[in-house]
């Protein structure tokens, strides 16, 4: 049996988060670049070629050729490509420039699975 004061002390240090109302930075550690959900306030950017975008894209996603990222500097960006490799590298580059950028896990494939 654990001492009651140990349990009380441990419980007092826990932090509770309401995921729907918390910012992405509260829920995900700063160094994490990959996410598996789209926060409500995020701008989603599709890095695939235009034909792939026109064939299917995440609802509300912007195609990277049609967006000026500087206009979105104060927004949370979630990038995706086919499988997540390119978007991961782009998110890292954008973070170096001060953006809040993330890559969606497994790219468009992961997003499609997430929607079903």
Which are the catalytic amino acids?
A: 81
What secondary structure letter does DSSP report for 98? T
As a whole number of Å, the end-to-end CA separation of the chain is 45
Per-position b or e across 44-74, b if 16+ CB within 10 A of its CB: bbbbbeeeebeeebbeebbbbeeeebeebee
**Residue 76: which of 17, 20, 115, 33 has the closest Cα?**
33
Residue 114 phi, psi (nearest 5): -65, -30
């Amino acid at each position: 049996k654990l001492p009651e004061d140990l349990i009380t002390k441990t419980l007092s240090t826990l932090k509770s988060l309401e995921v729907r109302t918390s910012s992405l930075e509260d829920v995900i550690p700063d160094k994490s670049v990959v996410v598996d959900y789209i926060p409500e306030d995020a701008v989603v950017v599709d890095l695939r070629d235009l034909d792939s975008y026109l064939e299917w894209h995440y609802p509300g996603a912007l195609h990277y050729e049609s967006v000026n990222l500087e206009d979105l500097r104060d927004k949370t960006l979630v990038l995706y490509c086919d499988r997540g490799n390119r978007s991961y590298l782009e998110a890292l580059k954008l973070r170096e420039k001060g953006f809040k950028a993330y890559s969606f896990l497994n790219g468009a494939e992961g997003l499609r699975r997430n929607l079903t």
